[in-house]
């Protein structure tokens, strides 16, 4: 609520007094509004992360292929329209918590969607790599997006860690 107040009053000042303000003052107010929106998103993301870590895990059979198709359909529906080559392997089923796996796929596919936005021929694949040498099967989300410097790979799955600037790719790092 305090952030909505800051954003709302900044908007009112811009609306009522914008013509009387110099360019630099208007820029300051726009920056205040952008910062409050970013802070609000960070708070929402932190609350969402806290909820995920507190919920009880309910194992069941989960069709990752169907889940991935649903998420891709939602991503395709958000403007601007994009042509993305998507390959989702059939029969990707696991034992796990459907809600948590949905959050995981939503984040991985959302990132793949975001980080392929500047590619001429974006590709996203969801699949499975067979177990080798007695190890476990590996499920993957792969894309031809921006990528990252492997020197920072240990930061990749840390909360609020960013490997690209906000100007280059929006988001909070969750």
Per residue of the chain (174 residues), what is the pLDDT tens digit?
888 889 999 999 999 998 999 999 999 999 899 888 878 877 877 777 777 777 788 899 999 999 999 999 988 888 778 899 999 999 999 999 888 898 889 889 988 998 898 889 999 999 999 878 878 889 999 999 877 666 766 766 666 565 556 565 566 566
Six token digits for residue 15: 């609306």
- pTM here is 0.62
Other C-beta atoms closer than 10 Å to the C-beta of 3 total 15
Q: DSSP H helical segments within the chain, as ranges?
A: 2-17, 23-54, 64-77, 98-115
What does DSSP assign to residue 151?
G
d(CA 107, CA 78): 15
With left for phi above 0 and alpha for psi between -120 and 50, is residue 105 left, alpha or beta? alpha
**Confidence (pLDDT) at 105:** 92
Residue whose C-alpha is closest to residue 107's, from 159, 166, 37, 164: 159
Asked if residues 140 and 112 have their Cβ atoms less than 8 Å apart, the reply is no
Asked if residues 18 and 33 have their Cβ atoms less than 8 Å apart, the reply is no
Asked if residues 143 and 116 have their Cβ atoms less than 8 Å apart, the reply is yes
CA atoms in the 13 A half-sphere facing the CB of 153: 2
**Confidence (pLDDT) at 46:** 76
């Amino acid at each position: 609520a305090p952030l909505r107040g800051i954003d709302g009053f900044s908007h009112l000042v811009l609306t009522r007094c914008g013509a009387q303000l110099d360019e630099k003052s208007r820029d300051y107010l726009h920056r205040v509004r952008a910062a409050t929106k970013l802070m609000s998103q960070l708070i929402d993301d932190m609350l969402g992360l806290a909820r995920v870590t507190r919920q009880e895990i309910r194992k069941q059979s989960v069709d990752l292929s169907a889940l991935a198709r649903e998420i891709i359909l939602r991503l395709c529906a958000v403007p601007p329209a994009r042509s993305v080559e998507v390959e989702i392997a059939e029969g990707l089923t696991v034992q796990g918590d459907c809600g948590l796996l949905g959050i995981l796929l939503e984040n991985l596919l959302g990132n793949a969607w975001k980080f392929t936005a500047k590619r001429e021929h974006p590709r996203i694949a969801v699949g499975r790599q067979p177990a080798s040498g007695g190890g476990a099967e590996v499920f993957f989300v792969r894309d031809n997006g921006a990528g990252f410097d492997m020197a920072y790979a240990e930061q990749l799955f840390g909360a609020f860690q960013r490997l690209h600037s906000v100007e280059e790719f929006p988001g909070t790092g969750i």
